[in-house]
Amino acid sequence: MVKCYKILDSVTATTSTGALSIKGVKRLVLVCKRADNAGGTSTFSATVSATDQNGNSVGNITYSKWISNATNTNAQGLTRVASYAIANADSTGFLTMDPDDAFESMIVTVTETADGTHSAWLICDYADTKEI
């Protein structure tokens, strides 16, 4: 089962989501959009976390293995980054979580430089049912 959640809805300042549950997600894509460009930058990043059996958080850890939507030659591998910046353009792109990883929650932050309207979505594949 795949769900697509809008997690930042046309915000116009630096904004963080609340803690978003990603328990059980097998594949995760973060879609990032910048609109109303007037020369600035929208930079999207995330922290990940989990809670132990005693109810204590492991803390918020900056996630640095986002796989970028980039081509590569056969002498190269995937590119992994900690953030996605859209500078001086109206554009939409995405980052993919490394499928090696599993976490319980995520906080996504957009950092605004100067201007712009910023949106983001999480596409979560829970991978337990088919959809046709």
Partner 1 sequence: MIRTYKVLTDAIEADPREVANLVTSETVDIRGAKRVSIILKRATHTAGSSTFVGYVGATDENGNSTGGIAYNKWITNTTNANTADVTRVGSVALSSTTVVEYSMSTEDTFGWLYLTCHTATDGKGSAWVIVDYANTKEI
Q: Is 28 in the site for partner 1 (CB under 8 A)?
A: yes
Q: Is 18 in the site for partner 1 (CB under 8 A)?
A: no
Nearer to partner 1, 4 or 114 (CB): 4
d(CA 72, CA 104) in angstroms, rounded, equals: 31
Q: Is 1 in the site for partner 1 (CB under 8 A)?
A: yes
The three-class DSSP label of residue 100 is coil
Q: What is the DSSP string of 2-67?
A: EEEEEEEEEE-S-EE--PEE-TT-SEEEEEEEEES-SS-EEEEEEEEE-B-TTS-B---EE---EE
Q: Is 75 in the site for partner 1 (CB under 8 A)?
A: yes
Window of 16-24, 53-61, 71-79, 104-112 that interacts with partner 1 by CB under 8 A: 71-79
Minimum distance between the CB of residue 26 and partner 1, rounded to whole angstroms?
Answer: 8
Q: Is 129 in the site for partner 1 (CB under 8 A)?
A: yes
